[in-house]
Structure 1
Amino acid sequence: MLRLGYLGRRSLYDVIRKIAFEVALFERGDITVVDGLIREKGDVTLLCGDYRCVARELFTTLPRLLGGGKLGLDLGTSKNGLAYVWNGEPVLHAVLDWPAVEEILRKTDGVEVFVGSSPYVDVKRVAAARRCSELRLVDELTASWSRRWLRNKYPQLTEDEIDALSFTYYEGIVASIC
Structure 2
Amino acid sequence: MKLGYIGRRSIFDVVKRIAFNIALFEKGDITVVDAGIRERGDIVLRCGDYRCVALEMFTSLPRILGGGKLGVDLGTSKNGVVYVWSGEPLLHAVLDWPSVEAILKNTNNLEVHIGASPYVDVKKAASLLNCNKVRLVDELTASWSRRWLRGKYPYLEEDEIDALSFTYYDGIAASIC
TM range (shorter): over 0.9
Which one is further off, 57-66 or 129-138? 129-138
SS of the residue corresponding to residue 109 of structure 1 reads: coil
1:133 CA drift (Å): 1.3
Partner of 1:59: 58
Detail structure 1 runs of 4+ shifted over 4 Å in the superposition: none
1:26 CA drift (Å): 0.1
SS of the residue corresponding to residue 53 of structure 2 reads: helix
Cα distance in 2, alignment partners of residues 146 and 82 from structure 1: 17
Q: Which amino acid aligns with 1:41?
A: R
Identity of aligned residues (%): 72
Gaps of 5+ in 2: none
Cα distance in 1, alignment partners of residues 6 and 27 from structure 2: 7
1:170 CA drift (Å): 0.5
1:132 CA drift (Å): 2.2
SS of the residue corresponding to residue 82 of structure 2 reads: strand
Cα distance in 2, alignment partners of residues 115 and 21 from structure 1: 21
Superposition map of 1:1-178 within 5 A: 2-178=1-177
Cα distance in 2, alignment partners of residues 57 and 105 from structure 1: 13
Q: How many residues align?
A: 177
1:155 CA drift (Å): 0.4
Q: Which amino acid aligns with 2:141?
A: T
Q: Which amino acid aligns with 1:114?
A: H
Q: TM-score, normalised by structure 1?
A: 0.98
1:66 CA drift (Å): 0.3
Q: TM-score, normalised by structure 2?
A: 0.99
Q: Output one character per residue of 1:61-118: Cα deviation in whole Å (capped at 9) or x when no partner.
A: 0000000000000000010000000000000000000100000111120000000010
SS of the residue corresponding to residue 113 of structure 2 reads: strand
Gaps of 5+ in 1: none
Cα distance in 1, alignment partners of residues 83 and 49 from structure 2: 19
1:29 CA drift (Å): 0.3
SS of the residue corresponding to residue 29 of structure 1 reads: coil
SS of the residue corresponding to residue 157 of structure 1 reads: coil
Cα distance in 2, alignment partners of residues 107 and 175 from structure 1: 18
Cα distance in 2, alignment partners of residues 28 and 100 from structure 1: 28
